[in-house]
């Protein structure tokens, strides 16, 4: 399919103790907005990790069209990181600061590349997610759970991925933060697949397809509000 974002063919995956999760699973995620629902323990987070390349299938393939971003349910972030480090912009900002102070070493220009507007783009993305005024040198340990989730999403969106995977992103968010997340996703123009049980959230972000994972099989489910 020309509009395919992810094509899964004959996927099988088992844990190291040989406990099977999927066997001969095949599906296609097309461009657009896909919701994924499943009973607890069905392997939905595992499936996203397989698509993201964080786990390797026992058999089968999972090619992804374009660059991919993944926001897991539990963010692998430590409290000693700064906001800029989480966003992946710390090195570029240091290089920009060096150039602005008169250091024109070639290594700084190599680090910067085409990212001369990185600070402006970063500020704009943080603003959209309700993190306006957040200092880039602030420690992660000083942020709330909701702020950490928003920061993790900002880090993914700044990479401009073609395909975005989200694992229950509203879990630690209050209503205001959830609305800001919805707004950010509504302005995102790539394809995304989101795990969520929040029907209001799925409707607000305009999910146009919903898949249900159960017993190692993906089937089409109804679209919220339709």
Instruction: Report pLDDT digits (tens) over 56-107.
Output: 999 998 888 888 999 888 776 666 888 998 898 999 999 999 999 999 889 9
CATH topology of domain 4-76+145-221: Rossmann fold (3.40.50)
Instruction: Report pLDDT digits (tens) over 7-37.
Output: 889 999 999 998 888 888 888 888 889 999 8
Q: Is 36 exposed, middle or buried (0-12, 13-18, 19+ CB in 10 A)?
A: buried
User: Structure tokens of 79?
Assistant: 């409290």
pTM of the model: 0.82
CB environment 159-197: b (16+ within 10 A), e (fewer): eebbbbbbbbbbbbbeeebbebbbebbeebebbbbbbbe
């Amino acid at each position: 399919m020309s509009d395919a974002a992810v094509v899964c063919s004959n996927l099988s995956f088992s844990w190291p103790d040989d406990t099977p999760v999927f066997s001969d699973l095949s599906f296609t995620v097309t461009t657009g907005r896909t919701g994924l629902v499943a009973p607890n323990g069905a392997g939905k987070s595992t499936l996203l990790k397989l698509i993201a390349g964080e786990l390797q299938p026992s058999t089968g393939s999972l090619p992804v069209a374009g660059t991919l971003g993944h926001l897991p349910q539990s963010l692998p972030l430590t409290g000693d990181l700064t906001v800029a480090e989480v966003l992946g912009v710390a090195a570029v900002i240091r290089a920009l600061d060096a150039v602005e102070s008169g250091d024109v070493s070639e290594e700084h220009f190599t680090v910067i590349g085409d990212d001369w507007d990185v600070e402006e783009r970063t500020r704009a993305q943080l603003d959209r997610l309700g993190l306006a005024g957040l200092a880039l040198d602030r420690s992660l340990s000083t942020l709330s759970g909701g702020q950490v989730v928003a920061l993790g999403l900002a880090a993914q969106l700044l990479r401009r991925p073609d395909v975005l995977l989200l694992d229950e992103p509203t879990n630690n968010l209050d209503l205001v933060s959830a609305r800001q997340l919805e707004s950010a996703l509504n302005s995102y123009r790539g394809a995304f697949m989101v795990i969520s049980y929040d029907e209001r959230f799925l409707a607000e972000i305009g999910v146009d397809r919903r898949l249900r994972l159960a017993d190692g099989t993906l089937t089409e489910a109804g679209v919220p509000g339709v």
